[in-house]
């Protein structure tokens, strides 16, 4: 998680100061891009998601309450946007094409898992993540890739800890099954 911003700067941004808001964008955009890219698996979509998140933040900044961390609030906007994006039909078609191309490139080489290099393993892991859907995928990305605690995920996604654990269990199982099937 990025560093917390000065409350005075946040207040300025809330009041509509564009320069202060620029600071907010610069602080959080890299961090948001990371989550969006891991979830959407596409550079252009990730950039669009980050842009959309900040536009929504700008429009609704007056509703922000300092009791919640700003990073948590922004994260929540992004998570909702990403989950909505995945329901989009055109996005599903594009995703199928991308996954198909990636699996074609990787699938042609039948190298055992333990002989793959670090970079190849990272691609395999990303490809396995692509097998997950919706909340399950988001929870896996936040827990395993972003290293957020279960309690933080609960706050971000408005779900309880049992739901987080249940989704994580199914996600881990699916990922291992996929890897075993492809490289086992």
Partner 1 sequence: MLEKKYKSLLKNNMANDKNMNCQECEKSIWMYSELSLVERSYIDGHLESCSDCRKLKEEIKTVSQILKQATPIIPEPKNAAALTNRIMEALPVKNPWKNWVLDVWDNMWLQNSLRFASMVLIVFFVWESKPDSNQMKRLFPTGETVILNSVAFIRKYEEIRNAPKGVTFYQRYQKVKKTNI
Q: Helix, strand, or coil here: 82?
A: helix
Q: How many CA atoms lie within 13 A of 12 on its CB side?
A: 13
Which residues, at least 6 apart from 49, have a Cβ–Cβ distance to it below 8 Å?
32, 36, 40, 78, 81, 82, 85
What mask, x for binding partner 1 by CB under 8 A, covers residues 29 to 58?
xx--xx--xx----x--xx--xx--xx--x
Residue 1 sits in the site that holds partner 1 (CB under 8 A): no
Applying CB under 8 A, the site for partner 1 has a residue count of 44
Q: Please identify which residue in 1, 22, 93, 103 interacts with partner 1, judged by CB under 8 A.
A: 22
Residue 68 sits in the site that holds partner 1 (CB under 8 A): no
**Closest distance of CB 155 from partner 1, Å:** 17
Compare residues 39 and 86 and give the one whose CB is closer to partner 1.
39
Asked if 102 contacts 121 with a C-beta cutoff of 8 angstroms, the reply is: no
Which residues, at least 6 apart from 140, have a Cβ–Cβ distance to it below 8 Å?
129, 132, 167, 168, 171, 172, 175
Q: Please identify which residue in 5, 106, 154, 179 interacts with partner 1, judged by CB under 8 A.
A: 179
Compare residues 59 and 89 and give the one whose CB is closer to partner 1.
59
Residue 26 sits in the site that holds partner 1 (CB under 8 A): yes
User: How far is residue 136's CA from residue 82's CA, in Å, rounded to a whole number?
Assistant: 13
Residue 165 sits in the site that holds partner 1 (CB under 8 A): yes
User: How far is residue 154's CA from residue 75's CA, in Å, rounded to a whole number?
Assistant: 12
User: How far is residue 79's CA from residue 59's CA, in Å, rounded to a whole number?
Assistant: 17
Residue 16 sits in the site that holds partner 1 (CB under 8 A): yes
Q: Please identify which residue in 77, 78, 124, 148 interacts with partner 1, judged by CB under 8 A.
A: 124
Residues of this chain that bind partner 1 (CB under 8 A): 16, 18, 21-22, 25-26, 29-30, 33-34, 37-38, 43, 46-47, 50-51, 54-55, 58-59, 62-63, 113-114, 116-119, 121-122, 124-126, 150, 162, 165, 168-169, 172-173, 176, 179-180
């Amino acid at each position: 998680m990025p560093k917390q911003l000065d409350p005075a700067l946040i207040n300025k941004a809330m009041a509509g100061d564009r320069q202060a808001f620029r600071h907010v964008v610069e602080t959080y955009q890299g961090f948001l891009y990371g989550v969006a890219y891991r979830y959407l698996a596409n550079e252009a979509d990730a950039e669009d998601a980050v842009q959309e998140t900040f536009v929504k933040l700008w429009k609704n900044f007056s509703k922000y309450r300092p009791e919640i961390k700003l990073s948590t609030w922004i994260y929540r906007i992004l998570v909702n946007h990403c989950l909505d994006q995945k329901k989009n039909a055109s996005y599903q078609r594009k995703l199928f094409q991308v996954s198909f191309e990636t699996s074609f490139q990787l699938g042609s080489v039948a190298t055992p898992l333990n002989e793959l290099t670090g970079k190849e393993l990272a691609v395999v892991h990303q490809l396995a993540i692509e097998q997950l859907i919706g909340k399950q995928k988001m929870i896996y990305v936040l827990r395993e890739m972003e290293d957020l605690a279960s309690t933080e995920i609960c706050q971000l996604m408005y779900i309880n800890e049992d739901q987080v654990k249940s989704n994580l269990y199914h996600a881990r199982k699916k990922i291992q099954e996929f890897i075993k099937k492809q490289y086992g």
